[in-house]
């Protein structure tokens, strides 16, 4: 077995990578493709074992993915699956590195997120392709000596020969070209100071690529603003780490689809309250608060933050530093509403202008606290609607300790859970259990159509007896007016 050398790297005209190929990774991603899909990495991203890779300054999520790398030995153009493996000369270990912070920038091409210098290390040694069974390989990855990925090529979604045949339908694979064949579950995030190792072997045979070693360092030159700069959210964190739990995020929240959100944006909270009452839910409003934007209608998914009464011996550990309050603000996602349990305590602020600004920058839909806020004029000048009990100049440490996030809380006299759907307008704030939301929205829209008809009849001089609510005769007229089938 010969080593991977600079000549190996120099001979690579192109580097092609497969998006999803291992069932374990597909299950983790929640999608299984019907056909393979690919992206290109520049050959300048190639590096040898023992090299270092730089996490760019300002980036948070440097992902690693241990993979089997194939090196083409004979040109392949329109080859059949049965002939494809003969066009592979070598097999070795590869690490498909990339920064999730830049995934948004190139609309799926991965050029900047996956194409940085050193982002495709290979090695350490080459296995002769003719001597191995492509379905009998194993790939393993270690981070700081801990095994984090292990899988075999036995049950790939797309066997290697199929990938080569598929690609060769439209482009010629030239000698030296490299194909990265996908990564199994367990890929995650590396930080500066980490050591990454990847090995491809044939179990029980002694045939091995040896360990491909890469050291992670921290970049010091920030990306200039004349190009894409790092941007990251909890969706990217979850994908980079493999799960919300691994990323240190709260539990997965109930989805608020764009269609459902649009429906709820057109329904008054008074109507929603009526529909919830019909279902036996009477205690679903957050009461006693004022808003910095009372004219706005807000719809979003609840995240929660709980404060407990201040106790001086506990505040140092839980209230200072990067506490639960700051973590909550930093993890807010697009369209989420942070609901704060302050126990109705009005003797201190719970948030101020800097924290509210952070929530706005993160894309939050609103902030709701049943306690006080500081810097009320500055908060009111933000575009972010904030609901609060009263202004107060004192910092939260006067009465509160930020304790935990994404737990069931009480706010304004009702219970709020992470994932609940919040709707707020000039009448108030309603909490909707997500399991009821679709049905509730449909029935509420029907109720508002009926009320529009009733209002029209009142304007035309009709009395209320039998009209409000509709009796059988008026309901027949309503159905005729609305075109509704009896």
Residue 254 pLDDT: 53
Q: What is the average per-residue pLDDT within 30-52?
A: 93
Does the model's pTM come out above 0.75? no
410 touches 431 (CB < 8 A): no
Higher pLDDT among residues 31 and 207, named by residue: 207
Domain range annotation of the chain: 6-241, 258-435, 439-482
Give the pLDDT band (50/70/90) at residue 478. Answer: confident
Contacts of range 137-140, beta carbons closer than 8 Å, 24 or more positions apart: 137/68, 137/91, 137/200, 137/201, 137/202, 138/200, 138/201, 138/202, 138/203, 139/66, 139/67, 139/68, 139/93, 139/183, 139/184, 139/198, 139/199, 139/200, 140/66, 140/198, 140/199, 140/201
Residue 257 pLDDT: 86
Q: Does 222 score more than 70 pLDDT?
A: yes
Give the pLDDT band (50/70/90) at residue 378. Answer: very high
The pLDDT tens digits of the residues spanning 57-116 come to 999 999 999 999 999 999 999 999 999 999 999 999 999 999 999 998 887 789 999 999
Per CATH, which fold does 258-435 belong to?
Answer: Glucose Oxidase; domain 1 (3.50.30)
Alpha helices in 19-151 (DSSP H): 23-29, 81-84, 111-114
Give the pLDDT band (50/70/90) at residue 29. Answer: confident
Question: In angstroms, rounded to a whole number, what is the distance separating the alpha carbons of residues 158 and 456?
Answer: 63
Is there a common fold for 6-241 and 258-435? no
Which residue's structure tokens are 């429906």?
263
Q: What is the average per-residue pLDDT within 43-53?
A: 97
Give the pLDDT band (50/70/90) at residue 447. Answer: confident
Q: What percent of the chain has pLDDT above 70?
A: 98
DSSP per-residue codes, 268-299: -HHHHHHHHHHTT----EE-S-EESSTT--EE
Q: What percent of the chain has pLDDT above 90?
A: 76
Residue 327 pLDDT: 86
Q: What is the average per-residue pLDDT within 168-186?
A: 97
Q: What is the average per-residue pLDDT within 461-484?
A: 86
Per CATH, which fold does 6-241 belong to?
Answer: Fumarylacetoacetate hydrolase; domain 2 (3.90.850)
Q: What is the average per-residue pLDDT within 223-242?
A: 88
Q: Does 316 score more than 90 pLDDT?
A: no
Q: What is the average per-residue pLDDT within 295-318?
A: 92
Q: Does 244 score more than 80 pLDDT?
A: no
Q: What is the average per-residue pLDDT within 187-216?
A: 97
Residue 89 pLDDT: 97
305 touches 270 (CB < 8 A): no
Mean pLDDT in the chain?
Answer: 93
Q: What is the average per-residue pLDDT within 177-201?
A: 97
Q: Does 314 score more than 80 pLDDT?
A: yes
Residue 116 pLDDT: 97
| Burial degree of 233 (CB within 10 A; 0-12, 13-18, 19+) | middle
The pLDDT tens digits of the residues spanning 124-151 come to 999 999 999 999 999 999 999 999 999 9
Residue 42 pLDDT: 97
């Amino acid at each position: 077995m010969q080593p991977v050398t600079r000549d190996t790297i120099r001979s690579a005209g192109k580097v092609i990578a497969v998006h999803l190929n291992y069932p374990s990774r597909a299950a983790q991603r929640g999608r299984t493709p019907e056909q393979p899909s690919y992206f290109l990495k520049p050959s300048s991203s190639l590096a040898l074992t023992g090299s270092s890779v730089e996490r760019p300054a300002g980036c948070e999520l440097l992902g690693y993915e241990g993979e089997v790398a194939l090196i083409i030995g004979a040109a392949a153009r329109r080859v059949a699956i049965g002939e494809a493996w003969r066009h592979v000369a070598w097999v070795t270990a590869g690490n498909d590195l990339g920064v999730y912070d830049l995934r948004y920038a190139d609309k799926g091409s991965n050029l900047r997120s996956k194409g940085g210098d050193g982002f495709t290390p290979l090695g350490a040694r080459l296995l002769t392709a003719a001597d191995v069974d492509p379905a009998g390989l194993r790939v393993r990855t270690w981070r700081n000596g801990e095994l984090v990925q292990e899988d075999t090529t036995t049950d790939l979604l797309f066997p290697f020969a199929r990938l080569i045949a598929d690609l060769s339908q439209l482009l010629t694979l030239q000698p030296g070209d490299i194909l990265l064949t996908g990564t199994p579950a367990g890929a995650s995030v590396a930080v500066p100071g980490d050591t990454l190792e990847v090995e491809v072997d044939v179990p029980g045979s002694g045939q091995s690529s040896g360990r491909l070693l890469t050291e992670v360092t921290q970049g010091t030159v920030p990306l200039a603003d004349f190009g894409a700069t790092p941007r990251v959210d909890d969706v990217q964190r979850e994908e980079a780490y493999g799960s919300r739990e691994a990323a240190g995020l709260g539990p997965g929240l109930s989805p608020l689809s764009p269609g459902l959100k649009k429906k709820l944006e057109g329904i008054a909270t008074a109507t929603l309250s009526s529909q919830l009452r019909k279902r036996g839910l009477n205690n679903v409003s957050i009461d006693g608060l004022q808003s910095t934007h009372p004219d706005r209608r807000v719809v979003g998914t609840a995240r929660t933050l709980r404060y407990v009464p201040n106790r001086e011996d506990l505040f140092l550990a839980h209230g200072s530093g990067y506490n639960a309050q700051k973590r909550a603000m930093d993890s807010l996602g697009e369209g989420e509403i942070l609901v704060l349990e302050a126990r109705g305590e009005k003797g201190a602020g719970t948030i101020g202008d800097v924290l509210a600004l952070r929530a706005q920058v993160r894309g939050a839909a609103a902030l709701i606290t049943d306690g006080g806020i500081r810097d009320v004029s500055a908060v009111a000048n933000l575009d972010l609607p904030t609901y609060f009990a009263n202004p107060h100049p004192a910092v939260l440490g006067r009465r509160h300790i930020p304790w935990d996030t994404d737990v069931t809380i009480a706010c304004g006299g009702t219970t709020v859970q992470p994932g609940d759907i919040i709707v707020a307008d000039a009448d108030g704030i309603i909490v909707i259990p997500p399991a009821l939301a679709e049905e509730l929205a449909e029935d509420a829209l029907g109720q508002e159509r009926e009320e529009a008809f009733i209002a029209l009849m009142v304007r035309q001089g009709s009395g209320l007896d039998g009209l409000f609510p509709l009796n059988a005769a008026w309901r027949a007229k309503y159905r005729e007016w609305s075109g509704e089938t009896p």
